A and B are shown apart, each in its own frame.
Chain A
Amino acid sequence: MKLNKIILSLLGVLFLGTVTFAQVQLNGAGATFPAVIYSKWFDQFKTNSGVQINYQAIGSGGGIKQITEGTVDFGASDAFMTDEQLNDAKTKQGSPILHIPTVMGAVVVCYNLPGIQGLNLDGATLADIFLGNIKKWDDARIKKLNPKLTLPSKNITVAHRSDGSGTSFIFTDYLTKVSKDWESKVGKGASVNWPVGLGGKGNDGVAGLVKQSEGTIGYVELVYAKKNSISYANMKNKAGKFIEPTFKSVTAAAAGMKKMPEDLRVSITDAEGKDSYPISGFTWLLVYQNWKDEAKAQAFVKFLKWAMDKGQGFAEDLYYAKLPASVVKMCEKKIASITANGKKVK
């Protein structure tokens, strides 16, 4: 009996505690790629506003699943939701889902050829390497793109992601755009049926595969290539120029979009513009347009506004590319359309 009383009173204290100290707390889950900047943002935002935002980096697919099921307050993804997924979420949660781009990233083609820096590649050649049609490094087509380099007569080993990933989505989306063969044989997706090569788990898995054996080619997020000091290729863009992946050339790719669609679901691979790096992509926050909890909606709108403004300043230190001003403007319009129970959020 005594024990019971103690437990009860303890529970009471705990419960009261949570009530008195209850603050708006938001939970989100999704893409791993922006996790670093998101945790920085949420941390900064907490010191500024006292709102606690928790984020679990479980992968883009997981983010889409959880926002659809309503188990989180917001999701995050490197691949935008399909129409079918959007409809599914709308019927389940009773609110349309907005895509708000936050930062941008690049996927770089990294390789291990000792002594060879600044390899040039174009989309068609890259697709044929990943299709297994080009097998040697001194293939005539690679030589043609790199007249100044002496390429070894080594076998090419292809490394790709074994786990489903937004990085793979951006990469295969690019290959699908530049190669008919790739489009018909493989297609685009977070995981695809890779014709050749080895699978590594995660960006570090692929980086490890490339680093460990000579003659390997793979693809990773720009951050990983920089941090692991692996060489990466310059890619030929639509304008015919070889572009090194940098924050600038990634932002240029988004700015090069002639017409951004209204819902901001857009792939910017193989973008127009002479300075655009062709394998770039947005990462999005997935947000309910109509929230059920007004306090949460208010807090999150405040956060989104902050992220578009001050938040962008953190991007480059953490190896992400900023959004171009034109896109920020569109995002702000989207953010202004968020409601709580049908009423506008201030």
Chain B
Amino acid sequence: MNITKDAESDNGTRKKGILKKIFLSHNIGDFIFERLTLLFAVLVFFLVILMSYEMYQGAKLSIDTFGWSFLSNSVWDPVREIFGALPIIYGTIVSSLLALLITVPLGLGVAIFLSELAPGWLEKPLSFLVELLAGIPSVVYGLWGIFVLVPWLRDYVQPFLSDKLGFLPFFQEGSSSGRGMLTAVLILCVMVLPIISSISRDILRSIPQNQREAAYALGATRWQAIKIVLSDARSGILGATMLGLGRAIGETMAVTMVIGNAAKISSSLFDPSYTMASVIANEFAEATGKLYQSSLIELALILFVITVIINSLARLLVWSTRRKLGVH
């Protein structure tokens, strides 16, 4: 009896303790707000887990049927229900990497100019314009691609390249339509540029001013000082690049409109190609077979996994630079 009574009163005091705590904080609103935000944060996490689980379930049929050959087979044939994603994965990765190859030096140049060199009156409007690029909907880029970029590439750039550099496999005359890998890469460049340049600019700015002053004090030229700043910021810049890569890999609309949509691996940049996001956007609505649908979901799963890996790597890198430098 005594024991239970003790336990009861113990329980009672504990309850009182919690209540006291709530009242001590003087604001029940704060308490509710805190728990509510916690709930939302957990919900996001839960959503990601649920999404991966659902996608895995959806893709299970295809995973069981094709196994690893889904990644290595290069036939995508809905009629015979043979699905191999190699050309599609290839198209996704090559278009994104090539876009980065062009954009990273360009974006870094913009970032250096904006954070280190630009006079104040130029810096503000320029930064604004660069960030504006990021806000344009991708379908608008796609239309611009179709009506401006495609004819220009077809009539001037492709003939010139295949004439002068045609001995290289990349510039061999393939399809003469102006739609293909090269067009997609260029569109992606424009779309990724604002991400890379604005994040890099922020990273460069976060390098403490005394680093530069120290460099100048030791007699460094401007270029040498910038080099020091750059080397301090390198992992942050790498992070920005990864975020750009994430955007490029997941881009759907603009790429679908200009890449030519053919699941083939070709060395020539003028030939049409395909990306995972485009295949899903194109074919999902009409995918009637169970295996067909499942294969498309597996593509989505692969895309999801790649994007998660890239984004987490990027976050980690950006975070580690800031921590090392003690900047928040």
* Residues of chain A whose beta carbon lies under 8 Å from any beta carbon of chain B: 58-62, 64-65, 85, 155, 157, 162-165, 186-194, 196-201, 205, 208-209, 212-213, 215-216
Contacts and interface: CB of A to CB of B under 8 A. Distances in A.
A193 B75 contact: yes
Contacts of A216: 177
Contact of B151 (A64, A199, A212): A212
Given A193-B77, A212-B150, A62 B179 contact: no
Contact of B262 (A62, A187, A199): A199
A256 to B, nearest CB: 27
Nearest to B260: A198
B75 A200 contact: no
Interface in B268-313: 272, 274, 278, 281-283, 285-288
Given A163-B286, A189-B78, A193-B78, A213 B262 contact: no
B286 A190 contact: yes
Contacts of A64: 288
Contacts of B78: 164, 189-193
A194 B262 contact: yes
B261 A199 contact: yes
Given A198-B179, A198-B261, A164 B77 contact: no
A191 B296 CA distance: 13
A62 B282 contact: no
Interface of B: 75-80, 146, 150-151, 154, 175-179, 256-257, 260-263, 272, 274, 278, 281-283, 285-288
Question: Which residue, B146, B260, B262, has most C-beta atoms of chain A within 10 A?
Answer: B262
Contacts of A165: 286
A220 B175 CA distance: 21
Given A61-B288, A208-B146, A191 B177 contact: no
A113 to B, nearest CB: 14
Contacts, number: 94
Contacts of A187: 79-80
B177 A59 contact: no
Given A157-B177, A199-B260, A199-B262, A213 B282 contact: no
A189 B288 CA distance: 10
Given A192-B79, A216-B177, A58 B285 contact: yes
A212 B76 CA distance: 27
A192 B77 contact: yes
Given A155-B176, A194-B262, A213-B178, 20 more contacts: A59-B286, A162-B256, A162-B261, A163-B282, A164-B286, A164-B287, A189-B79, A190-B288, A192-B77, A192-B78, A192-B79, A193-B75, A193-B78, A198-B179, A198-B261, A198-B262, A198-B272, A209-B177, A212-B150, A213-B176
A163 B79 contact: no
Question: Which residue, A58, A186, A198, A216, has most C-beta atoms of chain B within 10 A?
Answer: A198
Contact of B256 (A193, A194, A201, A215): A201
Contacts of B281: 163
A200 B286 contact: no
5 contacts: A62-B286, A193-B78, A193-B263, A194-B262, A201-B261
Question: Which residue, A58, A162, A193, has most C-beta atoms of chain B within 10 A?
Answer: A162
B283 A213 contact: no
A200 to B, nearest CB: 7
A131 B144 CA distance: 31
A59 B285 CA distance: 7
B262 A197 contact: yes
B177 A200 contact: no
Contacts of B261: 162, 198-201
Contacts of A189: 78-79
Nearest to A205: B257
A197 B79 CA distance: 18
A205 B256 CA distance: 10
Contacts of B262: 194, 196-199
A163 B146 contact: no
Contacts of B257: 201, 205
Contacts of B282: 162-164, 191, 199, 201
B286 A213 contact: no
Contacts of B151: 212
Contacts of A60: 286
Contacts of B179: 198, 209
Q: A-B pairs with the 4 shortest C-beta distances? A: A164-B286, A199-B261, A61-B286, A162-B261
A119 to B, nearest CB: 20
B269 to A, nearest CB: 15
Contacts of B288: 61, 64-65, 85, 190
A199 B260 CA distance: 5
Nearest to B256: A201
Given A193-B77, A199-B272, A62 B285 contact: yes
A186 B176 contact: no
Contacts of B76: 193
A191 B80 contact: no
Contacts of A196: 262
A215 B177 CA distance: 9
Nearest to A168: B286
B286 A191 contact: yes
A163 B283 contact: yes
Nearest to A192: B79
